[in-house]
Amino acid sequence: MPTDARCLVEADETSATVRLSGVLEPIAADRVRDALLARLTDRPGPIVVDVALLRSTGDTAARLLAEVRRTVADWPAADLLVLDPAGTVTGAGATGLPVYPTADEATAALARTPMAALLAADLAPVVGAARHAREMVADGCARWGVPELAEPAAIAVTEMVNNVVAHARTAMTVRLAPRNSSLHVAVRDHSPRQPAYAGLAPLTSTGGRGLLLIDTVARRWGSTPVPGGKVVWCVLHAEDEAARQG
């Protein structure tokens, strides 16, 4: 993972722990942010960031960790927890961060965000990829008790996957997970090219309607640059679909 001369980022591949050590100064924040996003992108699920051996300039650590947590808030089954026995993560920037003073408490909190409710598939950028993604959506919506989201989620994931096939032309990872009565969907590819949404397409347009469809069925959606590509995500709510049907 990326490192700075004074701040080391170490990922434990056998667990969900990422350790920060050394001195974190503002100049290193972007590198550390990218390292944490890479970890959250490449391996699904929440992570525990251990800052026991970290020293931070001002509230740099707090602001950085809070920013990363906000960035992944709508990704499927993603979150960031902080193990901070020395009280390193302080200040206004720490507001809303889940900070735990002991490893046992951090581990217990991690266990309350189970990974069982997650579906993922690695797909090639070929014709038929969207069909596999739709099948995964139908399976997930049925098992998680949100069948009303199967159709709008299928619309969204079809457009997300087809955008990769048509434009990014790289391998992709599709992930989805429930959260209360919502469904979170994400497609990660390996192209830095960001999708461009310009609102309603002209009636004479023969394309460019994919993002409009996502915007129509999802309450929120976005595209996040990550090391080696991007994550396009969306969030669908059961009550929104009920209101549309009503």
Instruction: Supply the pLDDT for residue 196.
Output: 75
Question: pTM of this prediction?
Answer: 0.90
Nearest to 72 by CA among 36, 24, 111: 36
For residues 234 and 214, the answer to whether their CB atoms sit within 8 Å is: yes
Instruction: Supply the pLDDT for residue 203.
Output: 40
Instruction: Supply the pLDDT for residue 201.
Output: 46
Q: What is the pLDDT of residues 179-216, one digit of tens each?
A: 989 999 999 999 999 987 655 444 443 334 668 899 99
Q: Which residues of the chain have pLDDT under 70?
A: 1-5, 114-116, 197-210, 246
Nearest to 12 by CA among 106, 122, 114, 120: 106
Instruction: Supply the pLDDT for residue 199.
Output: 54
Instruction: Supply the pLDDT for residue 66.
Output: 96
User: Exposure of 62 by Cβ count < 10 A (0-12 exposed, 13-18 middle, 19+ buried)?
Assistant: buried
**Cα–Cα distance, 181 to 25 (Å, whole number):** 40
Q: In what order do the strands lie in the sheet with 182-189?
A: 119-123, 172-179, 182-189, 229-237, 220-226
